[in-house]
Copies of this chain bind each other. A is one copy, B any other.
Amino acid sequence: MFTLIKKEGNARRGRMETVHGIIETPVFMNVGTSGAIRGGVSAFDLKELGCQIELSNTYHLHVRPGDRLIHDLGGLHKFMNWDRPILTDSGGFQVFSLAKLRKIKEEGVFFNSHIDGAKIFMGPEQSMQIQSNLASTIAMAFDECVENPAEYKYVKASCDRTFRWLQRCRAEMDRLNSLPETINKNQLLFGINQGSTYEDLRIRHMEQISQIDCAGYAIGGLAVGEETEEMYRIIEAVEPYMPQDKPRYLMGVGTPQNIVEGVYRGIDFFDCVMPSRNARHGNLFTWEGKITILNNCFRDDPSPISKSCGCPVCKRYSRAYIRHLLKAEEILGMRLCVMHNLYFYNDLMKKIRDALDEGKFEEFYRLNVNKLASRVQ
């Protein structure tokens, strides 16, 4: 159940109720690909970092350790010891980006595992079955994430197929949710909008998929190499055709600036590996702008990463110590940086929600949108 609490311009303040608890939106989902956050961060840590919803990857968990195994152990929540909402992606994106020798047909995709080369078939039904085994709160529909750039004709045919796949996803999830052995019988489905950078195809596809009853709708296939302005243009084009009473999820986005711009354009859900990936290389986010902790100027700096940050890392450790750990290749350095960046993203969303609650999002936007993208050191 999604409730749209408030609007300011196109920006939306909402609340989604699930069997695993409430999600206050706008929200950033913290990415734990294989059931753990890269950089040594656990689900237990995520609570301290203010995470509301964790995202795991269907493809990764399907090939290792296997979704049947996770089902038999009680589902992903129990496996990773996380009792709040989990969203699983469909596996589609990874099949198209990681797997080798793939072949797309009407029934689904044939491909080889990136781990052992084993032949795998995944279609809408398989994706739903895997996600049902994982027992996530929200399952994503199986789609084709078209490469950028792509031919108009190919994109149009692909969108039609992705629409037919959504119909099959809906039917299969309904069947699975009614089975006695299903762990989460209240699993929710999000449909995915595609159409590359063609506005008319995006709108046409959005009109198609909004006919299928989904708990939310995502914009997929963006942030895959196109210019940022082009991404904003597509969001603006497709947004008016997205149901107002359902949450909207901009997949794989993005920088703090991208997120503020996304909220400004009516997006509710975000996810990105950026905070953890950047952190592992010492690139850290602060309200004053970005810093690279490996820079020599931090070698004897006793201050925290950010004085205005309330994260467990900034409460305990100095820039000098964290820089030293990264230089000495101590894994603790990565862990602390990942924790800081994830907290920063979750805190960013909280401050966005607070601004919306107070009717001051426009002001928040003006004050922060450029500063967030600046570089301090």
Contacts and interface: CB of A to CB of B under 8 A. Distances in A.
Contacts of A42: 316, 332, 335-336
A302 interface: yes
Contact of A330 (B36, B69, B325, B332): B36
A332 B65 contact: no
Given A35-B324, A324-B65, A327-B64, A73 B335 contact: no
Q: A34, A64, A332: which has the most chain B beta carbons within 10 Å?
A: A332
Given A35-B321, A64-B328, A324-B35, A316 B41 contact: no
Q: How many copies does the complex hold?
A: 2
B299 A79 contact: no
B79 A34 contact: no
Contacts of A324: 34-35, 64-65, 79
A320 B73 contact: yes
A80 interface: yes
Q: A34, A38, A60: which has the most chain B beta carbons within 10 Å?
A: A34
A293 to B, nearest CB: 13
B40 A318 contact: no
A113 B335 CA distance: 27
Interface string A66-101: 000100111000011100000000000000000000
Nearest to A81: B316
For the side of the interface on A, what is the size category? 35 or more
A81 B317 contact: yes
Contacts of A81: 316-317, 321
A300 B72 contact: yes
A39 B333 CA distance: 10
A330 B38 contact: yes
A222 B354 CA distance: 62
B321 A40 contact: no
A280 to B, nearest CB: 9
A40 B79 contact: no
17 contacts: A34-B325, A35-B324, A35-B328, A36-B325, A40-B331, A42-B332, A42-B335, A42-B336, A44-B316, A64-B324, A65-B328, A69-B299, A73-B302, A73-B318, A79-B320, A331-B331, A335-B335
Interface of A: 34-42, 44, 60, 64-65, 69, 72-74, 79-81, 299-300, 302, 316-318, 320-321, 323-325, 327-328, 330-336
